[in-house]
Structure 1
Amino acid sequence: MSTRNVRKTDVVVVGGGVSGLAAARRLVEHGRSVRVLEAGARVGGRTLTGWAGALALDQGATLVYPMQHNVFRLAGALGVELFESRSDGRFLLYTEGARHSFRFGDSRGMKLFGMPVLRPVLRVALHVAALRTTLPLPPEAMMQVLRAISALDRLAATVPAAAPWTAPDADLLDCRAFDSWLREQVPSPQARRLLEANVAGYLPATTSLLYALHFFNTWGGVRRLLGTPARVYRFSGGAQELALALAAALGDRVVLDSSVLEIAQHSTGVVVRCADAEFAAERVIVAMAPSGVRKLRFEPALPVDRRALQDAWQPVHGRKVNIVYDEPFWRQDGLSGSALTDLDVVPGLTDASPQDGNAGVLAGYLPADRGPADAAERRRAVLAVCAELFGPRARTPRHYVEKNWQDEPYAHGCEGGLTVGALTSARRLASTPVDRVHWAGVETADAWIGFLSGAIQAGERAADEVLAASPAR
């Protein structure tokens, strides 16, 4: 490798998403010099704040739950404000061509970058006795949903967090696709369609059941999320505000438009090479999705088991839609703005209106492989669903903003999962260091994979590994 224009630093962080920035912040707090190399022209990764006039719209990660303490801790330290998202009113469930509304107190719980979470389905099932005359699905179908969630948590509890391949029957769990198991557990086509419409946002259909159990285990089980108070929080200025605040605190340590091409390890350090610069460091933290790491060259090559995990990673792609109205008119009808459907075009919606209510916003996640491919046709189809749910006013928004995450060259998917057989073959986690190379990114989280809290935890964990391996001089 050329030694021209070599810059020295203690640690290089590859990736300027929330995870990489959180890692850099932790290192700087402990007196280490850091460079964060971000391939794109902005920080934030899969958080992105768009604008409709002066109105901030989350085009990526959105919601924070009360027990995701990492987000509140870091946001508080950086002066980034969150607010409790409004959630009163009736929840809508649309299935088999019919619209049903329920009031369970606070029934919201949509994680709209990834998927709507299953809280509304569970709450419907839990109210079978009280609502038996108006249930949209037969009681047995709703009980299948409950039993499937219970079975997931029961199996997940048997999967050791640090070594899922050592679980009882790990080989059997790892050779079975998650969707195959789900079809067996939920034979009712109606109930399964509701579950599949949501689960598809987090995990590909062919994801290993063992990986799915590991994934849900990082939440403490599915019921931990569903059974908590249904409060959710959003960022006053959009979720990207957290990354922007981190980057501002790091200052010129963050270098944009710096796509890393190669990482070379030697006996005393690493060299990280971009197109026009090289950085010499003691260690490197790679905070990228596994499918993005495939594009990097490593010298020496990564171990076979580590490469196997990257090759087995299946990213999930999707679109985030924000539909802006003059006001949140559905509230006048006693509706919360949250809805769950069995429709491919828009599985779920939630009220993403600003805190002051000076505009109405319905937000949803659209799986990339479902619904119309043509943008204009897709817009008409989404608005038709909105009108079916919330009335004719929903057909004529002020703004319709859609973000296709496949257009982001460095996002490498919204969510994802491992193919069958990967975990038991590799017998390592994606977070396991390779000598002087450490791994961050939400996919490597020990807690809350798929959420901002997990991204922060993964970054800070990788930074702590570096600190432990390279004590301060």
Structure 2
Amino acid sequence: MTTTKPAQLTADVAVVGAGLSGLVAARRLVRQGHSVVVLEADDRAGGRLYNLDAGDGVISEGGGQWVGKLHTRMFELLEELGLKTFPTHTEGKTIYLRRGKRRTYGGTIPPLGPVALLDFAQAQFRLERMAATVPAEVPWRARKATEWDSTTLGYWLDKHCRSAEARHLFELGLSLVFAESSSQVSLLKALHQIGTSGGVEFMMNTADGAQETRVAGGTQAVADAIAAELGDRVRLGSPVTSIEQDSRGALVRSAGAEVRCGRVIVAMTPGDAAWIDFLPPLPTRRAKLQRVWRNGGERKVCLVYRRPFWREQGLNGSAVTDLPIAHYVVDNSPPDGSKGILLAFIGTAASGGFHWDDTILDDKDARRDAFVKDLVELFGPQARDFEQYLEKSWIAEPWISGVAGLRTPGVLTNYTDATTAAVGRVHWAGAETSAEFESYMEGAVRAAERAVAEVVAQGVDVPR
């Protein structure tokens, strides 16, 4: 048996990870005149940007997909790349179904009962008032940081929501942000996210919210455009095994290449970076952070139809429910309506009254059948007549452990700035390292910009 010897390369900067943050960092560096090599473990670039093929040239995003008006860096990037956007479809009525009662409504606020509506408003006011006291760059220095980081968002909601309906709506909206039950998320982390991501309404809404806009061709097109611009600087199928550094430079070893460089940007979640050996060893706080880090895991599921038949009923394809699978449904059809696509999310744990058995969690056919059943209840028997079922699971990815940094209690106050603090010549990027819009595509871009600024400020002296 013959083995291929890794290519021996030299660059100013090695970027580990070709997700959105790593690609943006590499592109920024190249445009500033630096030589770059990007090492990616997978056989494609894009990380958590992933298109699903719905047939006839139509796609549905399997990963990150929405951009809101506050996501200014993303809009700037899309303009630079020449990519077009279009609004998420909202024309028509939204379905609200709870405890078997189905209603439709216009606008952004579900038809909650008066008690639930007031309850939601008071809890939102309290959360946003607390969030305003959490410093964006140093949330662990908030006056009540220790108290808030010792409990969960779910516990706080249980204590302060008087109505089950309001509690359910918070669980639905915020668990989508963290891809996990609110019972797993530090209250301090949730407050920081609310304060730095536009507030509760922006995070949860489509119109004038974080889900307002989509990218023509899907967000995989963003990664593909940057990767094409970078060309052979991107090395796929090259999982990094070790990073060695000393006063002269760094050596990054991977399956496909060994790169001698002046600086390294690791654009991965802290949990995924734990697979890399660092020499000398990482500082204790960073090493422990990588061991305790968790990302939320979920699946995006889609049913593809010949046309968006629900629009003929005056519906916009959106639904907010307490059904087993279709808690939150959105119309993910292409802008010309040439196919109809309904999308929902399936997490990994029961929460807020959502309960799944192991069959649904572990069997694709069971998930499809359960999803169809829910959509029939929402949209009628036409929902049975689908062309194909698509899903993307972020639970069992070999190189990516989940989709959103949720930060369990104690992580922020115990490990403080270990997420972003450079270790010698190693700098950290990735959506989870952004002080604003963490875990959003906007956060990925901002994290890349910060890491590049650090590298440029420190200077790049390549070992020769």
TM-score norm. by structure 2 comes to 0.91
* 1:458 CA displacement: 0.9
Aligned: 1:168 with 2:143: yes
Aligned: 1:259 with 2:217: no
Q: Deviations over 1:430-457 (max 9, x none)?
A: 1221221111111111221122111111
The answer for unaligned runs of 5 or more in structure 2 is 351-355
Aligned: 1:331 with 2:306: no
Aligned equivalent of 1:356: 336
**Alpha carbons of structure 1 residues 224 and 58: separation in structure 2 relative to 1, 3 Å:** closer
**Alpha carbons of structure 1 residues 196 and 225: separation in structure 2 relative to 1, 3 Å:** closer
State the one-letter code of the partner of 1:364. A
Q: Deviations over 1:400-443 (max 9, x none)?
A: 11111223211210113222122222232512212211111111
* 1:216 CA displacement: 2.2
Question: For the residues of structure 1 that align with 2:245 and 2:460, how far apart are their CA atoms?
Answer: 19
Question: For the residues of structure 1 that align with 2:388 and 2:59, how far apart are their CA atoms?
Answer: 12
Aligned equivalent of 2:208: 229
* 1:67 CA displacement: 2.1
**Alpha carbons of structure 1 residues 211 and 429: separation in structure 2 relative to 1, 3 Å:** farther
Question: For the residues of structure 2 that align with 1:217 and 1:436, how far apart are their CA atoms?
Answer: 31
Number of aligned residue pairs = 443
**Alpha carbons of structure 1 residues 18 and 176: separation in structure 2 relative to 1, 3 Å:** same
What aligned pairs does 1:128-147 form with structure 2 within 5 A after superposition? 135=111, 137-147=112-122
Aligned equivalent of 1:129: none
The answer for unaligned runs of 5 or more in structure 1 is 108-122, 125-134
State the one-letter code of the partner of 2:262. E
Aligned: 1:243 with 2:223: yes
Aligned: 1:419 with 2:422: no
State the one-letter code of the partner of 1:264. E
* 1:197 CA displacement: 3.0
Question: For the residues of structure 2 that align with 1:459 and 1:438, how far apart are their CA atoms?
Answer: 10
Aligned partner of 1:59 among 59, 62, 82: 62
**Alpha carbons of structure 1 residues 225 and 200: separation in structure 2 relative to 1, 3 Å:** closer
* 1:199 CA displacement: 2.2
> SS where residue 9 of structure 1 aligns?
strand
Question: For the residues of structure 1 that align with 2:198 and 2:132, how far apart are their CA atoms?
Answer: 8
Aligned equivalent of 2:447: 458
Quick check: 2:6–2:255 contact (8 Å CA) kept in 1? no
Aligned equivalent of 1:190: 165
Question: For the residues of structure 1 that align with 2:292 and 2:390, how far apart are their CA atoms?
Answer: 33
Aligned equivalent of 1:47: 49
Question: For the residues of structure 1 that align with 2:416 and 2:404, how far apart are their CA atoms?
Answer: 22
> SS where residue 47 of structure 2 aligns?
coil
Aligned: 1:78 with 2:51: no
> SS where residue 399 of structure 2 aligns?
coil
State the one-letter code of the partner of 2:71. Q
**Alpha carbons of structure 1 residues 172 and 398: separation in structure 2 relative to 1, 3 Å:** same
* 1:212 CA displacement: 1.6
* 1:276 CA displacement: 4.8
**Alpha carbons of structure 1 residues 87 and 220: separation in structure 2 relative to 1, 3 Å:** closer
> SS where residue 152 of structure 1 aligns?
helix
**Alpha carbons of structure 1 residues 163 and 151: separation in structure 2 relative to 1, 3 Å:** same
Aligned equivalent of 1:112: none
Question: For the residues of structure 1 that align with 2:287 and 2:188, how far apart are their CA atoms?
Answer: 19
Q: State, as a whole percentage, how many aligned pairs show the same letter.
A: 40
Quick check: 1:202–1:316 contact (8 Å CA) kept in 2? no
Q: Deviations over 1:300-339 (max 9, x none)?
A: 1111112232223222111111211111111111111111
> SS where residue 271 of structure 2 aligns?
helix
Q: Deviations over 1:92-112 (max 9, x none)?
A: 1111122111012xx3xxxxx
Aligned equivalent of 1:116: none
What aligned pairs does 1:300-449 form with structure 2 within 5 A after superposition? 300-370=280-350, 371=356, 372-373=360-361, 374-449=363-438
State the one-letter code of the partner of 2:411. A
RMSD: 2.0
Question: For the residues of structure 1 that align with 2:41 and 2:131, how far apart are their CA atoms?
Answer: 36
Quick check: 1:10–1:281 contact (8 Å CA) kept in 2? yes
Quick check: 1:197–1:344 contact (8 Å CA) kept in 2? no
* 1:78 CA displacement: 1.2
Aligned equivalent of 1:21: 23
Quick check: 1:153–1:223 contact (8 Å CA) kept in 2? no
Question: For the residues of structure 2 that align with 1:99 and 1:224, how far apart are their CA atoms?
Answer: 25
State the one-letter code of the partner of 1:76. E
Aligned partner of 1:209 among 187, 200, 209: 187
* 1:181 CA displacement: 0.9
The more displaced of 341-350 and 196-205 is 196-205
State the one-letter code of the partner of 2:410. G
* 1:71 CA displacement: 1.6
Aligned equivalent of 1:111: none
